[in-house]
Amino acid sequence: MASPDGQPHTAEAVGAPPSVEAVKQAATEQVIDPWNVSGGKDENGNIKAIDYEALRLKFNTPPLTDEHLKRFEAVTGKKPHRLMRRRLFFSHRDFDKILDHYEKYGFFLLYTGRGPSSDSMHLGHAVPFLFTKELQDLFDVPLVIMLTDDEKFLYTRNKNHGEAKPGQDVEDFENFAFENAKDIIALGFDMKKTFLYTDYGYMGGHFYKNICEFEALITNNQVRGAMGFDGSTNVGLNSYPAKQCVAAFATSYPEIFGRPNSDSSRGMFGQRTKDIAAIPTLIPCAIDQEPYFRLVRDNCGRMRFPSPKPALILSKFLTALQGPGGKMSASDKTSAIFMKDTPNEIKKKINSYAFSGGGATREDHEKYGGNPDVDVAYAYLSYFLESDEELSEIEANYRKGTLSTGELKKKCIAELQKFVAEFQERRSKVTDEVLCAFFARRKLEFNGNPNVEVSIPAEAPVEQTGKKSGKKDKKDKKKADKAEKVEKELPVREKNEEPSS
């Protein structure tokens, strides 16, 4: 139908309601990258729950299947962690390969990290670490934890267009890193097999050689494509991804394997070596970190000493109190439960903010039941309640309407109060001495797979690295052999040698 002036109606016509098409265009897609996590908006502007299946398909990462869980149980002899059973860790890359490697060579390197954006961690930050601790215990392998004080400084400055605001200096982020490190330690990591470091404190020697080499391999365009940077992004943030990437190479930490690091005092003794490069890495992390590790997987085979592609096990985000369209955020105090919160604060936050999937009235709830799929108290229970039976009972009763929102919240509050109180008790014992022990550069002590002799492959598997072979390699090998003056502490197994036992 045309208007009196003969023109078709448009949304711009004065006084006219916006056309359906115009409103529809207001619907937005979800945004998930290392710095932003939010569900899309529907046509009416309501925030939608994060669609993890769409995300997985976009990133093209395979699902974690029942087969993986069975294999995990067969290899470790233990039931998989509840976060894995409930598919809160839901996707992976090469998880099978890392298990193969563990069966043959007895160990791998675990690597995870944390961007210290404030002095207190919240429950969402704790989740990947809880899972990592479990993996470390079950596999009995070395673990490195990177605290990216540099990343958070650069990111914050970038956000402020270079302006230095109070409380956002380099030293502030370094201090956040130390505070966060104490929180991480209080989650129960075993000091003997865990090395924690801040980027400001540790990067040098082998690590810095890896950084420079990796920086030389990737272009601005590749980093922009993976991270969403543009020409106005500060140069520090542009080059930061190389750091998080090479942190996945075992050669960045020769001392944890008993080899010298070519840092300033010992540079003349240590060279990077092909065998340490061949130790594969498993990275537990939330799926927003995947873009980094895609970069490293695409380029690790091009390093002078190629490393295998790191394996990943990827989690969902712990839902914000406001609902499944966002994640807990340290900068939005009402979105998160902090590890510092008192029992009363936890209770108040759950009661006043936690989005409920319950019926609008008591009668409605009893008649139609509640929806645990969007209920935040239920979501938190799925992360923290250990018993599968109890959880499925809660779910069934909530759906039926026989369990009220009030009762569900009460259970959630009790479970979170218990977790946080136990954490705070351990946290009070993490002194500066304990912190220093975790930060000390040293050889880590681990036993790995009890069924095989723990050893290092002579070099990374060829098919994974796409490396070129030839004269240069032979020359490299000779050079590396010559440079390596220390006694090898772990046996190095040549290519076709079978593991003993």
- Is 327 a binding residue for ligand TRP by CB under 6 A? The answer is no
DSSP state of 330: T
Helix (H, G, I), strand (E, B) or coil at 55: helix
DSSP codes joined into one string, 198-265? EHHHH-SHHHHHHHHHHHHHS-HHHHHHHH---TTS-HHHHHHHHHHHHTTSGGG-GGGGT----STT
- Is 328 a binding residue for ligand TRP by CB under 6 A? The answer is no
> Which CB, 245 or 346, lies closer to ligand TRP?
245
Cβ at position 289, least distance to ligand TRP in Å: 5
Inter-CA distances, 324 with 24, 43, 122, 375, Å = 22, 17, 17, 8
Give the pairing type, strands 281-286 and 109-114: parallel
Cβ atoms of 92 and 313 within 8 Å: the answer is yes
Inter-CA distances, 124 with 91, 121, 342, Å = 18, 8, 17
Cβ at position 310, least distance to ligand TRP in Å: 10
- Is 181 a binding residue for ligand TRP by CB under 6 A? The answer is no
Cβ at position 464, least distance to ligand TRP in Å: 20
Cβ at position 370, least distance to ligand TRP in Å: 33
User: Using alpha carbons only, how large is the chain's radius of gyration in Å?
Assistant: 25
One character per residue 191-230, x = contact with ligand TRP (rule: CB under 6 A): ----------------------------------------
Select from 30, 91, 118, 148 the one that contacts ligand TRP (CB under 6 A): 148
CA dist 354 and 375 (Å) reads 8
Cβ at position 478, least distance to ligand TRP in Å: 34
Select from 80, 106, 113, 357 the one that contacts ligand TRP (CB under 6 A): 113
Cβ atoms of 185 and 267 within 8 Å: the answer is no
Which regions of 14-61 does DSSP assign to beta strands (E)? 31-33, 36-38
Please work out the total of residues on this chain that contact ligand TRP, with binding judged by CB under 6 A.
14
Cβ atoms of 254 and 198 within 8 Å: the answer is no
> Which CB, 223 or 247, lies closer to ligand TRP?
247
DSSP element (H, E) containing 314: strand 311-315
Cβ at position 189, least distance to ligand TRP in Å: 15
- Is 115 a binding residue for ligand TRP by CB under 6 A? The answer is yes
* Sole window of 146-154, 326-334, 349-357, 443-451 interacting with ligand TRP (rule: CB under 6 A): 146-154
End-to-end CA distance of the chain: 83
Phi and psi angles of residue 323, each rounded to the nearest 5 degrees, phi first:
135, 170
Select from 76, 112, 281, 455 the one that contacts ligand TRP (CB under 6 A): 112
> Which CB, 152 or 347, lies closer to ligand TRP?
152
> Which CB, 94 or 375, lies closer to ligand TRP?
94
Find, among 480, 499, 485, the residue nearest to 275 by Cα: 480
Cβ at position 358, least distance to ligand TRP in Å: 33
Cβ at position 451, least distance to ligand TRP in Å: 28
> Which CB, 156 or 319, lies closer to ligand TRP?
156
One character per residue 278-297, x = contact with ligand TRP (rule: CB under 6 A): -----x-x---x--------
- Is 146 a binding residue for ligand TRP by CB under 6 A? The answer is yes
DSSP codes joined into one string, 389-414? HHHHHHHHHHHHTSS-HHHHHHHHHH
Residues 225-284 contacting ligand TRP, CB under 6 A: 244, 247, 283
Select from 56, 114, 206, 365 the one that contacts ligand TRP (CB under 6 A): 114
Cβ atoms of 108 and 279 within 8 Å: the answer is yes
Cβ at position 469, least distance to ligand TRP in Å: 31
* Sole window of 45-53, 112-120, 376-384, 437-445 interacting with ligand TRP (rule: CB under 6 A): 112-120
Helix (H, G, I), strand (E, B) or coil at 32: strand
Cβ at position 123, least distance to ligand TRP in Å: 15
Residues making contact with ligand TRP (CB under 6 A): 34, 111-115, 146, 148, 151, 244, 247, 283, 285, 289
